Amino acid sequence: MVKRPGAGELDVPPDDLPDGLVIADNQGRVTCFNAEAARLTGTDPAQALGSPLADALPLEDPDGRPWWQLTNPYRGLATRAGQPERNLLLPGGREVLVAARYVRVRPAGPVRQVVITLRSTEARQRMERSNAELIATVAHELRSPLTSVKGFTATLLDKWDRFTDEQKRLMLQTVDADADRVTRLITELLDVSRIDSGRLEIRREPVRLDDAVRRQVKTLVTAGADPDRFDLRLAHGLPVLWADPDKIAQVLGNLLENAVRHGAGTVTIEVEPVPHTGDRSEGTAVTVTDQGAGIPEDVMHRVFTRFWRGSTRGGTGLGLYIVKGIIEAHGGTVTVGRCPGGGGARFRFILPAGTPAVLIS
């Protein structure tokens, strides 16, 4: 049993622990080898119990050197308390995360027990793959606009007098648009970092969602979208929301741009109040639908994950991940589905109304 000292000691069977646990006594003989340790190492606990630690858990460092000979827990420096977690190798080259604690009879005294925890590296490898994919995505997305900026500026500097004012204006407009693209990508990366670390800052002030929707549609139309593609259905008497206007504009921009770029037909935006039901506060719901092919059921659960792309029409695949992070940071919810009758994609988010507690006298 693993015990937590104090009032009402709690006994936890080693096999119930989520990490692998291996314990060796003062002679270096294994006295505990739990089920997770057996799963990670492929070793039968019955064979491990009573065996020398180095035999039951033959670990090597990345250079192939025997780990227990290097660390020498029983005869090393008496001031050592253990080993920090690190990647080590099991026979066959399988990686495992290992940490050790040296339990001593007294400070700087002989080692009474060596307690080792084992964890799979799968979660860390997934994170490393995700980070590598993020770097590759950033490099790919930055290359195109920066190449364009560099090409046009170099051309203008080298052959300024050869171009007409109209040609210069066109090239500078392209440079300006590409600079905006780079700025947006950097903003997305910062948002992803803040969402992942739980540090997304929300600056709340009164917001009217119907006005915010009108502004986003106007922005898209100004950028070249057909105004006839948008069908606004804005209810009256919407409650005032306390939200971050810039973040809400970012959410609406992502959802509407996705509908225009990846969907088809009319893009319908509905804004309606949500009545108080049960423990849900009164708020406002925004629903964005299109008349495209929609999102297949088998990938719908991945829509709000990093790097998900609904088509091959470009983009970083970070937009909907950021949408979810922003809405949840406001205490709201966001869902995805298909339009009634099996039509296009349907995104819906709900933001709660109410004045922040710090502003209530």
pLDDT digits (tens, 9 = 90+) for 274-307: 876 655 557 899 999 998 888 888 888 888 887 7
d(CA 216, CA 205): 18
229-241 per-position pLDDT tens digit? 999 999 988 888 8
Low-confidence stretches of the chain (pLDDT beneath 70): 1-10, 276-281, 309-316, 341-342, 354-361
The structure tokens listed for 243 are 């939200």
Residue 134 corresponds to which tokens in the numbers above?
């993020």
Q: Nearest CA to 260 among 286, 283, 230?
A: 230
Q: Determine what percent of the chain falls in helix, strand and coil, rounding each to the nearest 5.
A: 40, 25, 35
- The beta-strand segments (E) located in 61-147 are 82-89, 95-104, 111-120
Q: What pLDDT shows up at residue 353? A: 79
Residue 63, CA distances (Å) to 55, 86, 95 in order = 19, 13, 13
> For the whole prediction, is pTM greater than 0.85?
no
**The predicted structure's pLDDT at residue 314:** 56
- Please report the pLDDT score of residue 8 as a whole number: 47
Per-residue pLDDT at 7? 45
Non-local (6+) Cβ contacts of 156 within 8 A are 163, 168, 171, 172
pLDDT in the model for residue 183: 85
- CA 14-33-102 angle, to 5 degrees, is 90
Span between the terminal Cα atoms of the chain, in Å? 53
- What per-residue confidence (pLDDT) applies to 130? 73
Instruction: Provide the CB-side half-sphere exposure for 177 (13 A, CA).
Output: 10
